[in-house]
Amino acid sequence: MLCLARSEVLDRDFLSKLLWPGRFEAHAKASLRQCLLELGKLLAPFGSEMLVVTRTSVMLRPGAITTAFGRLEQALANDDFATATAQLSAIGNKPILDQMELGDGFNQWLGRQRADAEARLQAGVQSALAALLREGNSAGHAQLVAASSLRNPTVAGNPAPSAATGKVRLAVLPFQRIGEDEGQAYFADGMVDELITAMGQVPQLIVSGRTSSFHFRDSHLPPSAIAAELGVSHLIEGSVGRQGNRVRIHAHLIAGDTGIELWGARFDGTMDDVFTFQEQVAQAITAAIGDALKIALKPPLLRGLTQSKEAYDLYLQGRSLSVRPFGDGALDKAVELLERAVILDPDFAEAWLVMAEVHQLIAIYTACLDRPAASARMAQCVDKALAIKSGLGQAYSLLGLHQLCQNDFVGALDLASKGYAMEPNNPQVAMRLGSYLMFCGRTADGMRYIEEAISQDPIDGRKYMLRCAGRLNQGDIAAAISDGQRAVDLGFPSIHLAVASAAAGRHEAAVDQYQQTRLLLNKSIFPPVGTSPMTPEVMDAYWLVAAKGVCSGVAEDREAYCRTLDFLHLTMYDNADSSITLPAVFMGYADLLFRTLGERISPANMGCLMSIWADVDPIRQIWQHPEFIPFAQRIGMAAAWDKYGWPDVLPLPSNAPAAVH
């Protein structure tokens, strides 16, 4: 385990629970102490201490032990392709840490570690194959492809993520509430969330994301129409009734093409054993799907969240509020509830993770006076969650946001890649990895992850906004307009639609679309920090200046809005607010963008980075600007190019190192 984790510090509490799950805590900790003593004795003849053991953690001293897999990775990193090919051939398709059976918790940890290692190997092989092609070494390329195909048959083709094939696609729709207590609505949603999470762990299933499923709450569409919208073959519907400590669930499996019920059952339980109860429901539904399709499905196991019923109840309430980022103090109330939950159970990892998500939303969508502090608090919550459960892929991808705020693009991409290796079927994790790649100009790579996220969660406007920006970057204007309209139809601002329309030469329509954004933003997003509320007349006048400046194509209109942004930059409390940086990108106002993002990247303004790479006027004036490369170096973006590849639209410099491709 230490060799596989490489130089990662492993928490002793985590290890004791993982390796001795059936023992009391004190007994498990004593077993770990004895294990470390025996291991230390066995390793003593080989020289200096190989283990770094503290009261709270244990790790392998870096470089103390080499492994076959480690030597293979080192050969790839050193461009020693002949050695790498020989080692790959020797390793073949042997699994990492084979014949290790220490219980479900260990199996899940091992699965994540294997996925992480295989993802690193795949990336290294792809980089090596590209280098061999550049060198014109066709023989070496063919030999490495042959050796790699033993372990990964797709390595010679397209290794990028894609929607899984040959799997059953289904959606869990929001369960109806039985009873009149509006205050218990969060409990029914929580049950559905846990079913989505549990069934998403079944290898043969692809479960639609929460955003898409909950889009159809109280929908009057027939089941067949909902299934078609979601691109699934089966639906799960049901109801939840809760009276005091008693819980009753009705669940139904529906054929997506006909709307016919294939199976139904009733489950009764109590809050005392709510997690066992939820697991029984998930396993019964999975078995019913398997019976209906005549395939054997692995039964899902529910996450062990907390032993505190009160903490779990507070967690469900806080999480229900976290999906309402706009206005009415919902996020502040969510933080209050989640903080109470972790006071009751400090080891409640999922509550820490949701609280991290909420602080991220506060930093982006509210009139936050200190966005860096909100981002730092988010990172603290993530660290708490990972200290309890190191396998939360979503936590790593979220932590990448904070790394971007620290100008660490490499760290952000490393964390997002690690999160994706752990949770490849989580659309939020795929979306973050895709967006981080797009921030760095790797649009083609990033779009593959965005496509996968949309395939898993097809009714989420934010994902269509990302794909709209990506398609604009790639020059597919018609597709960008289509995605922009789809995002608008799902309730998101029409700014990106307007920019795509302007790129198509539809300036009059674009000006109108850009102005329509105010109808959403003025209602749901706070005005920029440091500004006084505008009268409706002044607001309309401001948005007209903005819309013409971005979309009319008239030089005088662009100049007028640039001067307005200069004024905002001088007077606003947050002079790098997204209300300045985003239109600066759309108007190709490079100097202002360099002054704002060059000073401070925040959770609220980093999203504009994905739009700077469009090869259309006037946006291309940014990446064609002579000061763009120094700007990219200053904010840490250029460092990511050495590891993750050169931006799609920039010509490769003649003195670029071999790692840049």
User: pLDDT of 493-533, one tens digit each?
Assistant: 889 999 999 999 999 999 999 998 876 554 433 455 555 66
State residue 526's pLDDT score.
Answer: 44
- What residue ranges do the domains of the chain occupy? 2-60, 68-151, 168-293, 309-390
Pick the CATH number of 309-390 from 3.60.40, 1.25.40, 1.10.1740, 1.10.287: 1.25.40
- Indicate whether 141 pLDDT > 90: no
Distance CA 3, CA 310 (A): 40
Q: Is the per-residue pLDDT at 600 higher than 50?
A: yes
Tokens 């990336």 -> residue: 123
Higher-scoring residue by pLDDT: 128, 371: 371
Q: Which residue has the higher pLDDT, 635 or 176?
A: 635
pLDDT tens digits along 214-228: 899 888 888 988 998
pLDDT of residue 328: 65
The encoded tokens of residue 305 equal 């969240």
Just give the CATH number of 168-293. Answer: 3.40.50.10610
pTM score:
0.71
Between 338 and 71, where is the model more confident? Answer: 338
Residues 179, 526: Cα–Cα separation, whole Å:
36
Asked whether this chain's domains 168-293 and 309-390 adopt the same fold, the reply is: no
Lowest mean per-residue pLDDT among 132-141, 303-312, 345-354, 491-500 = 132-141
CA distances from 475 to 234, 291, 494, 620, 649 (A): 36, 47, 19, 12, 11
Bridge partners for 253 per DSSP: 236, 263
pLDDT number for residue 591 = 96
**Tokens standing for 233?**
């073959």
Place of tokens 């054993």: 273
| Residue 655 in this model has a pLDDT that exceeds 60 | no
Give CA–CA dist 296/289, Å, rounded.
Answer: 9
Q: Residue 59 — pLDDT band, cuts 50, 70, 90?
A: confident
Distance separating alpha carbons of residues 308 and 316, to the nearest angstrom: 12
Residues 414-454 pLDDT 10s: 999 999 988 888 999 999 999 999 999 999 999 999 999 99
**Rounded distance between C-alpha atoms, residue 125 and residue 148, angstroms:** 8
- What does DSSP say about strands 234-243 and 246-255: parallel, antiparallel, or unpaired? antiparallel
Characterise 207 by phi-psi region: left (phi > 0), alpha (psi -120 to 50), beta (else).
beta
* Model confidence at 392: pLDDT above 80: yes
Give the least confident one: 300-309, 378-387, 418-427, 585-594: 300-309
Would you place residue 347 in the very low, low, confident or very high pLDDT band (cuts 50, 70, 90)?
Answer: very high
Question: Quick one: pLDDT band at residue 196, thresholds 50, 70, 90?
Answer: confident
* 396 against 301, higher pLDDT: 396
pLDDT, averaged across the chain? 84
- The Cα–Cα gap between 368 and 385 comes to 24
Sorted by sequence, the CB contacts under 8 Å of residue 469 that are 6+ apart come out as: 438, 480, 496, 610, 611, 614
pLDDT over threshold 50, residue 157:
no
Decide: 642 and 648 in contact? Cβ < 8 Å: no
Assign residue 636 a region: left if phi > 0, alpha if psi is -120 to 50, beta otherwise? left
